[in-house]
Structure 1
Amino acid sequence: MFALLASALLFFIPVFPGIAAMDYAKQVLIESDFSNRDLRGVTFNLTNLLKANLSGSDLEGASLFGAKLQEADLSNTNLRDATLDSAIFEGTDLTNAILEDAFAFNTRFSDVIITGADFTNVPMRDDVLNGLCLAAEGTNPVTGRNTRETLGCN
């Protein structure tokens, strides 16, 4: 009897799909700590992440369109397939970050640390690319790719 009742209850309990991606769009998250987290698919569009810590996090497929990431720590992050268009990276630490297949055509990079970063298949304007090549060095410990080579530096 108990088994019959339990299976009847399970039938009426709704099944929820996986937890939906979080939406932090248009928020002020200055100095927030998002380090070492699963942030796949999260939305940070137009969010102020000044001095935020996202180090070691998985941001694959995340959208950071127009995000302000000045002096933020994105070292050792996975930014594969992320939308970074119109984001501001000034004084940002991208050490060993993986940006493979990210969209960053109108992204502003200024005084960034990109040692060991992997920019494979990331479309960028020539002026931005030339600036990044000046700071490019190292090899990404996960992908084994040289930063200068992933940027196509001469």
Structure 2
Amino acid sequence: MSSSNMSALAELNKYEADTRGEFGIGSAAQFGSADLRKAVHMNENFRRANFTSADMRESDFSGSTFNGAYLEKAVAYKANFTGADLSDTLMDRMVLNEANLTNAVLVRTVLTRSDLGGARIEGADFSDAVLDLPQKLALCKYASGTNPITGVSTRTSLGCGNSRRNAYGSPSSPLLSAPPQKLLDRDGFCDDKTGLCDAK
């Protein structure tokens, strides 16, 4: 790649960060391969941020918003995601051993080939999340609680013990797949006049 192309790419990335990401929503922050061990980032906005291959061991991200973020291959051993919004995130091949996902929202999250061994999931909402069957069965052995934001029980969201796969619907019934208004109100608002959305 020529130096002029690299310069244009740098300008584009700076523009995207300044405008808070695609469509003006999110942080567009780049944490790919970053060392975030024992970092404290409570109640922060990481929408559409990139955490690919980041080392997040023993970090505190409680209450933070990760809508649409990329966390694939990240290591989050003993990380705290209590009450975090991890909906619509890509978390495949992620290490979440002993992570605290208490009351976290993981709606439509992709968790394929991720390791959640020993993770605390009380009150977590996994509705429409994509999990490997062995991982799902392991979580169902101790799943409990109800998510305080969505009102969905952890066992129901994982489809434990029944044929119903999720709480909101499926790709064949998209109108039922929208997150509840309570979650939308907490995470952000949209300006009726402009149609632009922003984080609170």
TM-score, length of structure 1 as denominator length: 0.88
What one-letter code is carried by the residue in structure 2 that aligns with 1:85? D
What one-letter code is carried by the residue in structure 2 that aligns with 1:49? M
Q: CA shift at 1:142, angstroms?
A: 0.4
Correspondence for 2:135? 128
Quick one: which of 58, 62, 67 aligns to 2:74?
Answer: 67
- Number of aligned residue pairs: give it: 140
- In the alignment, does 2:23 pair up with 1:22? no
Residue correspondence of structure 1 range 1-154 to structure 2 within 5 A: 18-20=19-21, 21-154=28-161
Unaligned runs of 5+ in 2: 1-14, 22-27, 162-200
Distance 1:55 1:96 in 2: 10
Does the 8 A contact of 1:92 with 1:112 survive in 2? yes
TM-score, length of structure 2 as denominator length: 0.68
Q: CA shift at 1:123, angstroms?
A: 1.2
The 3-state SS of whatever aligns with 2:96 is strand
Question: Which stretches of structure 1, 4 residues or longer, exceed 2 Å deviation after superposition?
Answer: none
Which is greater in Rg?
Answer: 1
Higher relative contact order (CA 8 A, sep 6+): 1
Give the root-mean-square deviation of aligned CA atoms. Answer: 1.3
The answer to which structure has the higher helix fraction is 2
Task: Report sequence identity in percent.
Answer: 29
Q: CA shift at 1:28, angstroms?
A: 1.2
Distance 1:102 1:68 in 2: 17
Does the 8 A contact of 1:113 with 1:135 survive in 2? no
The 3-state SS of whatever aligns with 2:141 is helix
Unaligned runs of 5+ in 1: 1-14
